[in-house]
Amino acid sequence: MKFASARLIASDINGMVAFYELLTGCSADWLAPVFAEIVTPGASLAIGSAETVALFSEGSSEPGVNRTAILEFMVSDVDAEFARLKDQITVVHAPKDLPWGNRTVQFSDPEGTRVALYTPVTDAARRRFAGR
């Protein structure tokens, strides 16, 4: 099994796509007016408008209510990314070191999903991510 993507449901798909394009530096592939993908080296982030929920099961997903997931992106320099983004998007917390060896910063996307950028900073963390 290969983890391929995560999908967010958005009430404002244009705003969400613009946020993730700014965050990742990648342009979205619009596969339909209600669906876009941002393809990164590790996986894809799919963004569907609220209208797409009815294609699966009416009411099964709802924009803006996720408080359990944090989307994480590994970057080469978390402090540089923080400096680039801090005045353009909502900051949850400034860069800090975590006990498992990552330096991380957290932002909030326009619909409230938490997004973390991190850099492995300890030798153990660098080894853990070396093959990923």
Count of C-beta atoms within a 10 Å radius of residue 74 = 17
Tens-level pLDDT at each residue, the chain (132 residues): 988 999 999 999 999 999 999 999 999 999 999 999 999 988 999 999 998 887 878 877 888 888 889 999 999 999 999 999 999 999 999 999 999 999 999 999 999 999 999 999 999 999 999 988
121 class by beta-carbon count within 10 Å (0-12 exposed, 13-18 middle, 19+ buried): middle
